[in-house]
Amino acid sequence: MTTTELARRVQFALARNGTLVGLVILIVFFNFANEHFLTLANARNVGEAVSALGVVSIPLALLVICGAVDLSVGSIASFAGIIGALIMRDTGSTVGGIAAGLGVGLAAGVINGILVSYLRLNSIVVTLGALSVWGGLALYVTGGRTVAGLPDAFIDLGLIRVGGIPLEIFILAAAIIYGVLVLERLPYGRRLKAVGGNQRVAFLMGVPVQRVQFLMFVQVGIASGLAGLMLASKLAAATPITGQGLEINALTVVLLGGVAFAGGIGRISGVVAGLFFVGVLRNGLVVTDTSQFLQQVLIGVTLIAAVAIDDTFRQTLFGTSGAARKPRGGRRRRRDRGRSSKPPD
């Protein structure tokens, strides 16, 4: 093997696993900064802290791979948590409240999916608008106040331990297993990548493009509703801003995980590494008494770095950058759309 080939392989490995390398460096750094960082109890704290974020990030990664994005996940989580909490407070039914919260997520996902997949509106614009809608509804129905007085049975869900491990970590593990199965073990994963890579080619191959993308929006909506309920159970209350910032954190996780924002490329293992990178970063900053305001700055810097990693990864693999890639919805795509029939449902 020549030196050039070795350098190329090392570059490829770093581009593919850069987040995992960064995670290891973070752990080593914070362990030196605080001797109590690398402990079983703190590892459990990190897992608890990222559980709701991970539940949203896994299906969001699948959606981005499919060629779309949902920026309304935080507002959906807030509104779902509020509706579920109101039902539980007023009726005393934990099951009814959970069903209502998940129903809100389902409805939000269906609406986003119809607007983007079937009416062909831009996913960024649609979900930015939805972010405002669901967030505004959460504030409207509560008057900006916290919903407390939830049933003990619901609050206890956030306190359950199985073998000393919180229930929410098991929920996160289930989400990760689901993501791996869908993307890397089932034929549906190839459909997602095909749709995200080139919708016209996928359509010509017989992939039901609209249906595939629609179902991913629905799954993201349900996951957001579940995340809102998880946060409400952990806090023993629901607030209209519970999910604020969840969309930025989830997108940071997805891009750090090596999922191409342009679609078609991504691995769940990378997303998991990105999830724990963000979790360890936040936890380490808290352990080292870093200002909460500075934490937000660093998360923003991490998102920018994630975009840079995304571009570098694509250049390393394909020799093209995000700027060089043909923009979606451009002139060529419009001509293609005019020559082809509408994709089937």
pLDDT digits (tens, 9 = 90+) for 179-218: 999 998 888 899 999 999 999 999 999 999 999 999 999 9
Instruction: Give the residue, 324 or 112, on which the prediction is more confident.
Output: 112
**More reliable by pLDDT, 287 or 18:** 287
What does the pLDDT read at residue 316?
A: 59
The C-alpha atoms of residue 305 and residue 9 are separated, in whole angstroms, by 22
The Cβ of residue 235 has, within 10 Å, a number of other Cβ atoms equal to: 17
- The answer to whether residue 10 is domain-embedded is no
Q: Mean pLDDT, the chain, as a whole number? A: 86
Q: Is residue 4 part of a domain?
A: no
Position 3 in a domain: no
pLDDT band at 338 (very low <50, low <70, confident <90, very high): very low
Quote the pLDDT of residue 11: 62
12 within domain boundaries = no
> Mean of the pLDDT values across residues 19-27?
84
Q: What is the pLDDT of residue 328?
A: 43
3-state SS assignment for residue 244: coil
For position 142, what pLDDT does the model report?
A: 94
193 falls within a domain: yes
Q: Report pLDDT digits (tens) over 111-141.
A: 999 999 999 999 999 999 999 999 999 999 9
Helix axes 268-287, 3-33, angle to 10 degrees: 30
pLDDT in tens, 233-260: 999 999 999 999 899 999 989 988 888 8
> 3-33 and 292-318 helices cross at what angle (nearest 10)?
170
**Residue 67 pLDDT > 50, yes or no?**
yes
| Phi (first) and psi of residue 147, to 5 degrees | -100, 110
The confidence score (pLDDT) of residue 321 equals 52
The pLDDT of residue 294 is: 82
Q: Which residues 6+ apart lie within 8 Å of 70 measured at CB? A: 60, 63, 112, 123, 127, 217, 220, 221, 224, 247
Amino acid letter for position 318: F
Q: Residue 324 pLDDT more than 60?
A: no
Residue 9 lies in a domain: no
Is residue 162 scored above 70 in pLDDT? yes
CA distance linking residue 95 with residue 102, whole number of Å? 11
**Which of 57-61, 99-103, 175-179, 317-321 bottoms out in mean pLDDT, i.e. has the lowest?**
317-321
On whether residue 304 sits in a domain, the answer given is yes
Report the CATH number at residue 90.
1.10.3470
- The two tokens of residue 161 are 């331990």
Q: How far apart are CA 98 and CA 189, in angstroms?
A: 29
Nearest-5° angle of CA 138, CA 219, CA 78? 15
Give me the pLDDT at residue 335, please.
41
- Number of folded domains in the chain? 1
**162 is a domain residue:** yes
pLDDT value of residue 279:
92
pLDDT at 327 (0 to 100): 40
pLDDT for residue 195: 95
Q: What 3-state DSSP class applies to 160? A: coil
Domain that holds residue 136: 17-339
Token output for 234: 């952990």
